[in-house]
Structure 1
């Protein structure tokens, strides 16, 4: 299975995630919200299902960002170059989301993925 298919599958699994995360809705546009990811982070240590969903989601985000950053034009020239590797962990994800959406009341309508991809690109010093 290709990396893109795996990433999409991981994101689909999270987007359709089940009872453990049913209380927190996606954004009104159907995006994975900061609230959903924060709930997964909070529950991951004590809820195996939430931990698996978090791993699938973060794996999909990281892999998708990597695919985008490795894209090349028709001549094989990369669109983007980065001077550092990308990496995510639970603490970093929590910090990025809390700083990117400082008003917790807006978390249900704030898409998490763009905040995380932007942080990955910035931390990897991509141009």
Structure 2
């Protein structure tokens, strides 16, 4: 059963995971959303149901945001771990949302409907601009 409450985006950047048990674990971000991330690592220190702090940077060259968020390991695999963010402050949530979705959203908003091939499929309707 899927428990995510946000869409994940593929991303690649270094992530530092601080754990009480294993200390600092170096990882690589594979995907991230408002609710959490999946990190790739060969380190065994990311134990299921362990609280951690994750540190990473997101954004473009001009507007990088640094994040340090409390989280919990919700999935452990041989090649990495699923991490769910905990108790994110509203301002931090806003910055994370902007870093993840602003560029994608603005590009989609500028694209004409003809750029979406699904618009021509029967049974699928997209909103049309009002004639003015």
Q: TM-score over 0.5 for the alignment?
A: no
TM-score, normalization by structure 2: 0.26
Q: Which has the higher strand share?
A: 2
TM-score by length of 1: 0.26
Q: Based on CA coordinates, which of the two structures has the bigger radius of gyration?
A: 2
